[in-house]
Structure 1
Amino acid sequence: MKKIIAGAILVSSSAMAFANGPAGCGLGTAVVFPDANEWHEHVLAATTNGTSGNQTFGMTSGTLGCEAANGPLKAAQAFMDDNMDQLALESAKGHGETLAALAEVMGVEAQDTAAFNATMQSNFDSIFAAEGTSGTAYDVMTAAMAQDAELQKYLG
């Protein structure tokens, strides 16, 4: 479980970090080199972001240019890209660590987890169609969530 949660955090962090271009977000991008256009400026901004330890703070607090539009949904899509096989297995059963991690990445609250799991299980065939990709699965999953009154609020 710890590996899955750590992976989810890494995926969501990287999705948010690249919201501001090649240097990511942080003090280097937001304050020191806000108008970086040249490759060397991006390198210096990324170095500042990484070495000063503020990028994590920015991602956690949503400051320093780390305010990603639809952050949890982008992170969920990246998470699905990396975990399709296990998600398919657990969605068919309606429970599992990877399915729980996806719900957490999407920001699904504890009281709505059962509804999320049930939606994934009842829409298994369409979400994980044989010819589909992770992008298609993500689109079908969010469409199914949009049909559920409890889960609509997580779509942004």
Structure 2
Amino acid sequence: MKKLLLTVVLSGASFGVLANGPAGCGLGTAVVFQNANEFHEHVLAATTNGTSGNQTFGMTSGTLGCEAANGPLKKGLAMFLNNNLEPLAVDVAKGQGETLDALANLMEIKAEDKALFNQTLQTNFDKVFASEQVNASTAYQSIVAVMEQDQVLAKYLA
């Protein structure tokens, strides 16, 4: 019975590879079977991607051969905000700091606009961190809303 189940799973994975080309992104594609050229290598890469459960991480962070998604997941911002929300709030309140610099870098804010970025977020601290229930998603949405109001910073949202 186990062999039959394994055959069905591998067959399903192989049809997905045939229909979609290479195995997609993930640990299997980016690390284990990095230079896959043969059909069976793509099947094994797809199986590794599927069973290791790392594609969500790869898509969120833009790693493991995955392109980062647009919106709040763009350029790994979701992961960054999830892991650094408290130190970011402290830096935004001060108008400077390592976490605020890292956010500016992730958002590809040019050096000549970083002071404006820092000042704008500091001035709008109460909008970005409106309550204790702020999470990565609401903080991101508030940062975007604040940046949209400034002609110089709005260009970084495109």
Bucket of the pairwise TM-score, normalised by the shorter protein: 0.5 to 0.7
Relative distance call for 1:31 and 1:123 in structure 2 (3 A) is farther
Relative distance call for 1:116 and 1:30 in structure 2 (3 A) is farther
Q: Which position in structure 2 is the counterpart of 1:153?
A: 155
SS of the equivalent of 1:150 reads helix
Relative distance call for 1:65 and 1:132 in structure 2 (3 A) is closer
Q: CA deviation at 1:78?
A: 1.7
SS of the equivalent of 2:151 reads coil
Is residue 41 of structure 1 aligned with residue 42 of structure 2?
A: no
> Structure 2, unaligned stretches of length 5 or more?
1-23, 52-61
Cα-to-partner distance string for 1:53-78 (whole Å, 9 max, x where unaligned): xxxxxx79xxx964434398341232
Cα-to-partner distance string for 1:90-147 (whole Å, 9 max, x where unaligned): 1011111110011011111101101110121011111112222121011110111111
Relative distance call for 1:95 and 1:31 in structure 2 (3 A) is same
Asked if structure 2 preserves the Cα contact closer than 8 Å seen for 1:90 and 1:99, the reply is: yes
Asked if structure 2 preserves the Cα contact closer than 8 Å seen for 1:103 and 1:113, the reply is: yes
Instruction: Give runs of aligned pairs for residues 65-144 of structure 1, distance below 5 A.
Output: 66-70=66-70, 73-130=74-131, 131-144=133-146
**How many aligned residue pairs are there?**
123
Asked if structure 2 preserves the Cα contact closer than 8 Å seen for 1:25 and 1:66, the reply is: no
Give percent identity, aligned residues only: 40
Q: Which has the higher contact order (CA 8 A, sep 6+)?
A: 1
Q: CA deviation at 1:37?
A: 9.0
Asked if structure 2 preserves the Cα contact closer than 8 Å seen for 1:95 and 1:117, the reply is: yes
Asked if structure 1 preserves the Cα contact closer than 8 Å seen for 2:92 and 2:125, the reply is: yes
Relative distance call for 1:113 and 1:45 in structure 2 (3 A) is same
Relative distance call for 1:69 and 1:91 in structure 2 (3 A) is same
Relative distance call for 1:89 and 1:44 in structure 2 (3 A) is closer
In structure 1, distance between residues paired with 2:38 and 2:117: 42
In structure 2, distance between residues paired with 1:30 and 1:152: 40
In structure 2, distance between residues paired with 1:74 and 1:25: 20
In structure 2, distance between residues paired with 1:125 and 1:147: 15
In structure 2, distance between residues paired with 1:104 and 1:31: 33
In structure 1, distance between residues paired with 2:117 and 2:90: 15
Asked if structure 1 preserves the Cα contact closer than 8 Å seen for 2:26 and 2:66, the reply is: no
Over alpha carbons, which structure has the higher Rg? 2
